[in-house]
Amino acid sequence: MSSSNASYTLRYFDAIGLAESSRILLTAAGVEWTEEHPEWPQEKPNQPHGRLPVLVEKSTDGSPDFVICESSNVERYIARTYGFLPADLKQAALQEQLRDLISDVISLFFTQIQCKGEEDKAEFQTKFDGLLETLINVQTKLLKDNGNTGRLFGDKLSYADIITYGLYINLLIGFVKFNADIADSVKSKLTPEIVKLISAVETDPLVEKHKSRGGSLVAAISA
Amino acid sequence: MLSGSDTVYVLRYFDVIGRAEGCRLLLTAANASWTEEHPEWPAEKANQPFERLPVLVERSNGNEWILCESLTIERYLARVFGFMPTDLKQAALQEQMADQQADLLSAFFAQLTATGDMKSKQIDEFNTLFDRMVKEHGRILSRSSSKQHLFGDQLSYADISLYAFYKLFIVYLKCYQSDIAEIVKSKLTPEIINLILSIEKEPQLAPHFSKCDTMAAIFTAKDF
């Protein structure tokens, strides 16, 4: 399934953010890839949707490179190509729905920090807390039903495991620069099952080579 | 088609266009056996897997399978019913359009609810994103051989998703902001309007318009 001569460039900011899951997926896929940090906002018009991340799959036959964008789309493409999302449509969809829920959690986080009035801030904090609680409950139930092995589905590292890790490394490390209180608040809500998933992803042999600019999430949780 | 002829679907959502129109259009275009449920809300919240709507219930051979999240439901139905290309690259090019459209919806609500000096900033951001998206739609359309479809010469997921998106902004979101339909219409090119109206005329979508109006009357001659 892996194409041995494929190579990729991932364009993003020099930050954890919405590229981390793609970084982990590319590393886990064992493919050749590099990262570019485009001058910003100068390079905005040169991206398909004027935003980052962007994934470039380098052409090997002289045809134009294949370029896609939108963080969750990039993740799904890598995951499908390299087998981290199952070929079975139902099994894949059950994983994808988790990422859509995560997108909404992240969206609420950024809406909340942009609120100016205390009332608005409180309203969106409540919405964020509520949706995060729903997500944690869903993730924990899946982990328990799957034997509390640190895997959301099956017995191998999956797309769902990686994008879950990608959320928590932001909530606990990456987003702290936007909201200093978020790390402690989220840490206190993590269930043992989720902590086990985080450790399982970080220590997976396929992920070992990935060195997050945020450091170890496992260490951040036990600190 | 990958679903058995005895498979039936239930789409649970509110009785509005909202975030379910793409799902409705896909089920219709697929000629699937499907019905819609409007759960009592918030009474039925706790009975949904993610405490949210839409939810898709698939019943087949006495089994029931449930899926959440509007975009995941759309991509699943598109794949089951052959509206998504099987080639991963071609699929990704269609999926990213839907993701971009979802960003636009978020930007709409962000500018709607912003106050103070954030308001004009969010309005600018919304307009910038929307104009860029329309340009991208135009670019894809200009490369399509059939100006009635975004990709290839048959109705695809991208066409259905684009139609649902413009319908959302032109027909539905005025319940939140009365001038949004006019703002959006003024941004559309004749080519995009022609695409919207062509998708609407697809025979596979005809049953949809027995339940609601087309947008043809909204785009009067002076828009061309």
Residue B162 gets the label, from left (phi > 0), alpha (psi -120 to 50) or beta, of alpha
Cβ proximity of B20 and B56 under 8 Å: no
Q: Which of B71, B80, B116 sits opposite A100 (nearest CB)?
A: B71
pLDDT of residue B39: 98
Q: Can you tell me which residue has the tokens 């494929």?
A: A6
Span B78-106, average pLDDT: 97
Residue that has been written with the tokens 């139930």 in this structure: A141
Element containing residue A70 per DSSP (H, E): none
Task: Using alpha carbons, list the distances in angstroms from residue B177 to A22, B53, B161, B180, B187.
Answer: 36, 22, 22, 6, 17
Instruction: Flag whether pLDDT at B224 surpasses 50.
Output: no
B69 and chain A in contact, CB less than 8 A: yes
What is the residue-averaged pLDDT of chain A? 95
Residues 6+ apart with CB under 8 A from B56: B9, B10, B11, B12, B23, B66, B67, B68, B73, B76, B77
Q: How far apart are the first and last CA of chain A?
A: 40
Is A101's CB within 8 Å of B2's CB?
no
Note whether B172 contacts A: Cβ–Cβ < 8 A. no
Q: What is the DSSP letter of A56?
A: E
Kindly tell me if the per-residue pLDDT of B116 is higher than 90. Answer: no
Instruction: Identify the CA nearest to B57 among candidates B42, B45, B46, B73.
Output: B73
Q: Is residue B99 less than 8 Å (CB to CB) from chain A? A: yes
Tell whether B133 is within 8 A of chain A (Cβ).
yes
Q: Residue B221's pLDDT is what? A: 54
- pLDDT at residue B147 is higher than 60: yes
- Rg over alpha carbons for chain B, rounded to the nearest Å, is 18
Instruction: State pTM to two decimals.
Output: 0.96
> Tell me: the pLDDT tens digits for B26-69?
999 999 999 999 999 999 999 999 999 999 999 999 999 999 99
The CA distance from A53 to A47, in Å, is 9
Contact A100 B69 (CB under 8 A): yes
As a whole number of angstroms, the distance between CA B178 and CA B218 comes to: 15
Mean pLDDT to the nearest integer, B163-184: 97
User: Measuring CA to CA, which residue among B173, B49, B53 is closest to residue B106?
Assistant: B173
What the block records as the tokens of B49 is 């897997």
Confidence of residue B222 (pLDDT cuts 50, 70, 90): low
Enumerate residue ranges in chain A where pLDDT < 70.
1-4
Q: How far is CA A86 from the centre of its chain?
A: 18
Q: Which amino acid is at A148?
A: N
Which residues in chain B touch residue A70, judged by CB atoms under 8 angstroms apart?
95-96, 99-100, 103
For residues B31 and A209, what is the distance between their CA atoms, to the nearest angstrom? 48
Chains A, B: CB contacts within 8 A come to: 83
Name which of A1, A89, A118 to mutate to probe chain B: the one with the most chain B Cβ atoms within 10 A of its Cβ.
Answer: A89
